[in-house]
Amino acid sequence: MTSQTLAELAGTPGVAARDAATHDFVFNHSMLRIKDPVASLDFYTRVLGFTLLRKADFEQAKFSLFFLALIDDLAVVPADPDERRQWLAVQPGVLELTHNHGTETQDGPVYHDGNSDPRGFGHICISVPDVRAACARFEDLGVPFQKRLSDGTMKSIAFIKDPDGYWIEIIQPTPIA
């Protein structure tokens, strides 16, 4: 592992200077398809602390979208649905879950987590103040682990799995004592 300066990073092959036309661009959300919204909303709200901030139902096309974010101070969220939608569209760190109606009644897993062939998407990551405390709580809640802190060589990160089997990395910003 190496620790580059910002100048070294800016000189990495491929890296270009920022075009002023991209100012105010926001990495707003990542979208995952889910089998069962009741299971996924329970997981993301109860286990991880997300708040459901928008739901859109497309009855004719038979799908629903759920937008969630980790918001510590709900007072910042506009009550008016239109205002809230505009506010939500400029927040970074939003999770969009897509439910194609009817998948919840199918047997077994419906979606592919991206970590076996064909690979692509890998995981989402939640940063927590205390990764040991967070993982102990996940154990208490019966959350499945892909990798416990004690597994493998990287003792400071864990991976849990959401109801569809998507991997969620758990990290803490500071070194583990």
Q: Are 154 and 148 in contact (CB under 8 A)?
A: no
Which residues, 6+ apart, have CB-to-CB distance to 11 below 8 Å? none
**Contacting a copy of itself within 106-165 (CB under 8 A):** 111-114, 118-129, 133-134, 137, 164
Can residue 101 be called a binding residue for a copy of itself (CB under 8 A)? no
Q: Is 83 annotated as a binding residue?
A: no
Encoded amino acid at 107, one letter: D
Q: Is 59 annotated as a binding residue?
A: no
Least Å from the CB of residue 79 to a copy of itself:
6
Tokens of 72: 């510590």
Contact letters (x/-) for a copy of itself, 29-48, by CB under 8 A? Answer: xxxxx---xxxxxx--xxxx
169 is catalytic: yes
Number of residues that bind a copy of itself (CB under 8 A): 97
Q: Which is nearer to a copy of itself, 120 or 150 (CB)?
A: 120
Q: Which is nearer to a copy of itself, 22 or 150 (CB)?
A: 22
Give whole-number Cα distances, 22 to 11, 25, 34, 88, in Å. 20, 6, 31, 19
Can residue 19 be called a binding residue for a copy of itself (CB under 8 A)? yes
Q: Is 99 annotated as a binding residue?
A: no
Nearest CA to 81 out of 50, 51, 54 is that of 54
Distance CA 150, CA 21 (A): 46
Q: How many residues does the chain have?
A: 177
What residues act catalytically?
A: 169
Q: Would you list which residues are annotated within the binding site for Zn(2+)?
A: 96, 123, 169
Q: Would you list which residues are annotated within the binding site?
A: 96, 123, 169
